[in-house]
Structure 1
Amino acid sequence: MCGKRLGRLLKEQTMLFNCDIQTGFMKHLYKGEHIVNTARQMVQTAGVMNLPILVTEQNVKVFGNTVPELSNDFPKNLIQYYEKSSFSMINEQTEAFLKANSERKSVILYGAEAHVCVQQTCLDLLDRGYEVHLLTDGITSINSLDRTTAFERMRDAGAFLTTFQSVVFELMKSHTSPDFKKMLPIIKLKTTEDRLGHL
């Protein structure tokens, strides 16, 4: 086990990256409605656990703003919004967010598209020394093959594949966590099986 990366998640070291979940794009994605459900759960989790969220929107004139199911639930004190032209969420605009959360080195990443913006963000984060946790029930592409291939590449590069329920239970550690009772209604919104299914 010596030297093996385990990818442990700790609340005080974790932040969320909400990638391009926009109104004009969801209808084109493979099971796009399911990543909205997962993203909504993550947004609500952030409010309970006090996790900062980086939210990006790609080419708003074409793809619209973030879907209202999320924007209506965003904990305003934890959110940093950026409209971006780069595919990656990591660019000159987002440096301020990273610096403001420099003690947090674990990123839970979800959104669209798996093989473009999510993948490029993931690789940029890994290159900077962050641990990246990819929500397989919260990431998709227009084409399901692009989605599965992107997961394989990102995992090979060093990212961890996981799910919404897996990360929230790891962040809580125990049913004695002060967050546990508040999290139960959020966990019950949807089950993993209701979402994207197998890779």
Structure 2
Amino acid sequence: MTVSRLDPKRSAVLLVDLQDKLLPVMHEKTTVERRAGRLIQGANLMKVPVLLTEQYPKGLGRTVSSIAKQLDGAVCIDEKTRFSACSESVIRLLEKFDIKDVVVAGIETHVCVLQTCLDLLERGYTVALCEDAVSSRRPIDKKAAVDRMIQAGVLPTTVESVLFELLGDANSPLFRELRGIIQSRD
């Protein structure tokens, strides 16, 4: 497998199911919510497309307000009942923007995030998983899913690492603003 660095011109962020009735029961929910928020802010700053899914919103609620209010630049909010976020509309948008690399965050790691990442790999995308912005109710479920994804070819990373990789250079005019996003308190 050839691994290249993330490039903002060919990358997108995919946020999976950060919803009102799901997030409150997740392990380390506050950390996941804050890190996902930083990921959105950084992606918006660098004009990286943000796609978002909601699993059965009628029963599980909408995207949590702290995340939803940052989605000005989101290009897709896809409602789904399938566990994988790789719907036709999400794949069409990835193709439209000529996306090759997908940065994934969300919940639950061992269900929707896992199936999404496996489907993206199967379709030929490079998948970077922000381990600090995914969760499950039980830590063992998250660990097992992350281990499986890495064995399948998913690249483990963190929100901070992804954002600096996408930026690429401290001489960028966006560096100070991005540093402020990253250094905001947990």
Identify unmatched segments of 5+ residues in structure 1.
195-199
User: 2:25 is paired with a residue of what secondary structure?
Assistant: coil
Give how far 1:93 is off: 3.5
Paired position in structure 2 for 1:45: 42
Paired position in structure 1 for 2:177: 182
Whether 1:24 and 2:21 are equivalent positions in the alignment is yes
> Are 2:43 and 2:163, in contact at CA under 8 Å, matched by a contact in 1?
no
Deviations 1:123-173 (A, max 9, x none): 000001100000010001011000000000000000000001111111111
Paired position in structure 2 for 1:69: 66
Identify unmatched segments of 5+ residues in structure 2.
none
Paired position in structure 1 for 2:86: 90
Aligned residue type for 1:173: G
Paired position in structure 2 for 1:125: 120
Q: CA RMSD in A?
A: 1.3
Paired position in structure 1 for 2:96: 100
Aligned residue type for 1:91: S
Deviations 1:51-76 (A, max 9, x none): 11110000112211001101111124
User: 2:21 is paired with a residue of what secondary structure?
Assistant: helix
User: How many angstroms apart in 1 are the aligned matches of 2:168 and 2:92?
Assistant: 30
Paired position in structure 1 for 2:146: 151
User: How many angstroms apart in 1 are the aligned matches of 2:78 and 2:115?
Assistant: 16
What is the aligned-residue identity percentage? 34
User: How many angstroms apart in 1 are the aligned matches of 2:111 and 2:181?
Assistant: 29
> Are 1:43 and 1:75, in contact at CA under 8 Å, matched by a contact in 2?
no
Aligned residue type for 2:147: E
| Larger CA deviation: 145-154 vs 171-180 | 171-180
Q: 4+ runs of 1 displaced by more than 3 Å?
A: none
User: How many angstroms apart in 2 are the aligned matches of 1:94 and 1:182?
Assistant: 29
User: How many angstroms apart in 1 are the aligned matches of 2:113 and 2:160?
Assistant: 20
User: How many angstroms apart in 2 are the aligned matches of 1:107 and 1:189?
Assistant: 24
Give how far 1:44 is off: 0.7
> Are 1:46 and 1:75, in contact at CA under 8 Å, matched by a contact in 2?
no
Aligned residue type for 2:80: K
User: 1:148 is paired with a residue of what secondary structure?
Assistant: helix
Aligned residue type for 1:132: V
User: How many angstroms apart in 2 are the aligned matches of 1:180 and 1:126?
Assistant: 31
User: How many angstroms apart in 1 are the aligned matches of 2:24 and 2:108?
Assistant: 13
Paired position in structure 2 for 1:15: 12
User: How many angstroms apart in 2 are the aligned matches of 1:112 and 1:57?
Assistant: 10
Give how far 1:79 is off: 2.5
User: 2:85 is paired with a residue of what secondary structure?
Assistant: coil
Aligned residue type for 2:14: F
Q: TM-score, normalised by structure 2?
A: 0.95
Paired position in structure 2 for 1:197: none
Paired position in structure 2 for 1:59: 56
